[in-house]
A and B are shown apart, each in its own frame.
Chain A
Amino acid sequence: EAQVTQNPRYLITVTGKKLTVTCSQNMNHEYMSWYRQDPGLGLRQIYYSMNVEVTDKGDVPEGYKVSRKEKRNFPLILESPSPNQTSLYFCASSFWGYYGYTFGSGTRLTVV
């Protein structure tokens, strides 16, 4: 089944404790992206990647890191999480951005 697998689905952590949210797609998509969704603010792009070793900042990259060492994987790293990073996070991929993205199931992150 073609899908984007995102883990974990739920995560509660403490301020400053490094964490990684994994994202993997099995569709050989070139484009991958991370979004965060917050009430009243909609979805905002954090980082995106056009291919292996090619990443770029989105609208809200501060406090996040990404890497794209393999085409299928695009992990999101929070090196020192803070409470303002409490949010619902989505990973998405696309063969080409014009065709719309396939989304993972989301990660509900709470930083206390």
Chain B
Amino acid sequence: AQTVTQSQPEMSVQEAETVTLSCTYDTSESNYYLFWYKQPPSRQMILVIRQEAYKQQNATENRFSVNFQKAAKSFSLKISDSQLGDTAMYFCAYNAGNNRKLIWGLGTSLAVNP
């Protein structure tokens, strides 16, 4: 069965510093998609970044980037120059190439401190 594991329930970082959130997954598929979603206190679920498994290049969206290690089945999120507005729950999610749903990790609660 496909699973997603986020091993850090809570993290904190000082404003303007860099933080990395970990995610590992288990799958036997060769083609799949990985996502990071952000859920601020407003509870809105916001797509932060996506990665296609067949692309070796790590995805980047402004201050957000991923370190995708396919062989290790690891998909970490790096947030650079952390801002107070980055305070949120962050969820890692997996979508198989032929599946219709997202499989979610349990989330990492990130607090950015002034």
Q: With both chains docked as a complex, state the minimum distance between the C-beta of A102 and any C-beta of chain B, in angstroms.
A: 7
Main secondary structure of the interface of B (DSSP, over half): loop
A42-B47 in contact (CB<8A): no
B interface list, Cβ under 8 A from A? 33, 35, 43-47, 50, 52, 91, 95, 97, 99-102, 104-107
> What residues of A have a CB within 8 angstroms of the CB of B100 in the complex?
31, 33, 48, 50, 56, 97
Chain A residue with Cβ nearest B99: A97
A1 and B100 alpha carbons, distance in the complex (Å): 25
A56 and B99 alpha carbons, distance in the complex (Å): 12
A interface list, Cβ under 8 A from B? 31, 33, 40-45, 48, 50, 56, 58-59, 88, 90, 92, 97-103, 105-106
In-complex Cβ contact of A45 among B33, B47, B97, B101 (8 A)? B101
A103 and B35 alpha carbons, distance in the complex (Å): 14
The 4 A-B residue pairs with the shortest CB-CB distance in the complex, in nearest-first order: A103-B45, A43-B104, A45-B101, A42-B106
B47-A102 in contact (CB<8A): yes
> What residues of A have a CB within 8 angstroms of the CB of B105 in the complex?
42
Q: With both chains docked as a complex, state the minimum distance between the C-beta of B35 and any C-beta of chain A, in angstroms.
A: 5
A100-B104 in contact (CB<8A): no
> What residues of B have a CB within 8 angstroms of the CB of A40 in the complex?
106
A38 and B6 alpha carbons, distance in the complex (Å): 16
Query: Given the interface contacts A42-B107, A88-B43, does A98 sit within 8 Å of B52 by beta carbon?
Result: yes
A48 and B103 alpha carbons, distance in the complex (Å): 13
Q: With both chains docked as a complex, state the minimum distance between the C-beta of A73 and any C-beta of chain B, in angstroms.
A: 18
Chain A residue with Cβ nearest B6: A42
Chain A residue with Cβ nearest B107: A42
B43-A105 in contact (CB<8A): yes
Provide a sorted-by-A list of 7 A–B residue pairs whose CB atoms are within 8 angstroms.
Answer: A43-B104, A97-B95, A98-B33, A101-B102, A103-B45, A106-B43, A106-B45
